[in-house]
Chains A and B, each alone.
Chain A
Amino acid sequence: MSQNLEHSFVQQLQANQNIIHKICRLYTNGEDAHKDLFQEITIQLWKAFPKFRGDSKFSTWAYRVALNTAITLYRKSKRTIATIEFEGRQHFTPDIDYNYEEEEQLKLMYQAVYQLNDIEKALIFMYLEDKDYQEIAETLGISEVNARVKMNRIKGKLKKILNPLGT
């Protein structure tokens, strides 16, 4: 029985691992820290797995546990060296409609997101993942209206980071 559970968990996690990678990318800034957080999230997901009843999708359930681990439970390892430089896109292959200006903008945008605080990152993450405000609000434990207000503020903050002089 427990072996079945383990097998089912490992398979589902393997198939959905990009969710965790994306959170690790947002909350850490180095390969070691990325691996470290990935492992901690995996452990926490496994610990919570017996209570996962399958009435929601594995991915939906995993979002919450993974975010909670990144924001609340994870202790940043000492090995992590803070760097402001952040390459959001690791394996970039130019499209046919490659646009240099867009590429530059994207790079700045990733850097701006990286400067947000933990909670703001969580909101942006769910926004980028196309979650609706109801789910964002429920995951964080805030009201839906306030989730919208906060999201607008974050957009304003990003704008300011990208364009500090406001021109």
Chain B
Amino acid sequence: MKELDLLKKDWQKNQNSFEQVSETEIYKMIHKKSSSIVKWILIISVLELSLWTLISVAFNTDDYFKKLKHDELIFYFKILNVFSYVVIFIFIYLFYKNYIAITTTSSTKQLMKDILKTRKTVQCYVGYNLAMIVLGLIVGFVIAFAYNPETIALKSKIAENGTVMAITFGVLFLTILVFFGIFWLFYRLLYGILLRRLYTNYKELKKIDL
């Protein structure tokens, strides 16, 4: 393609057509803060990790179970607590490991892969917490029904009346749905803005090697 040869010749000839940046300016630049997407991902991820950890720590059910006077439940939830701490540590370790693997000296494809992997760790953590919340809601509902004396009146009503049952489950289902909807929208917006270009370019690179 002769136009491309022409372009190449011109490209190399015009080496020095740029306004040169002085050493003093470069000194100034290296002390400025980066605004790369990796930095944003780090900030958001740390916020997410701490928020969800805080929520799971703050969600203390001990008092509630004491009120129910069922010690075996307290025991089960202690095990669950230990389990969730282990999971938190595993996620934080994985996130840290993936984050430090991100380096600009990797190949472009590898760099993109590493960034997406780090994102995925946090996404899994959020997913895990959401799943635990839904599970918690269901288990809580069952426990409240089976053990809490305050719900006996409601229980008998539900057993008698189909409409009350439908409304109760409907409200429960809707709550979960709205909850997920808000999260989904929030994540789509946040990461859509941040990662759209990266996804497009990653797809393009993967396509080359197909």
Contact = CB atoms under 8 A, between A and B. Distances in A.
| Interface of A: prevailing SS | helix
Contacts of A48: 103-105
A130 interface: yes
B75 to A, nearest CB: 49
B68 interface: no
Given A43-B29, A48-B103, A122-B108, A141 B6 contact: no
A64 B194 CA distance: 22
B133 interface: no
Contact of A14 (B11, B26, B104, B204): B26
A132 interface: no
B36 A140 contact: no
Nearest to A76: B197
A23 to B, nearest CB: 11
B105 A119 contact: no
Interface residues of A, number: 67
**Interface class of chain B by DSSP:** helix
B163 interface: no
A14 B10 CA distance: 23
A109 B3 contact: yes
A42 B108 contact: no
Interface of B: 1, 3-4, 6-8, 10-12, 14-18, 20-23, 26-27, 29-30, 32-38, 40, 103-112, 115, 194, 197-198, 200-201, 204-205, 208-209
Given A40-B36, A72-B115, A73-B104, A9 B30 contact: yes
Contacts, number: 158
Contacts of B110: 141
Interface string A12-31: 01100110011001000000
A146 interface: yes
Contacts of A138: 107
Contact of B12 (A21, A64, A128): A128
Contact of B22 (A9, A14, A42): A14
27 contacts: A10-B26, A14-B22, A17-B18, A21-B18, A38-B21, A38-B29, A39-B32, A44-B36, A48-B105, A64-B107, A68-B106, A71-B201, A72-B108, A72-B111, A76-B197, A89-B14, A90-B17, A92-B17, A102-B6, A119-B108, A119-B204, A119-B208, A141-B109, A142-B205, A142-B209, A146-B209, A147-B208
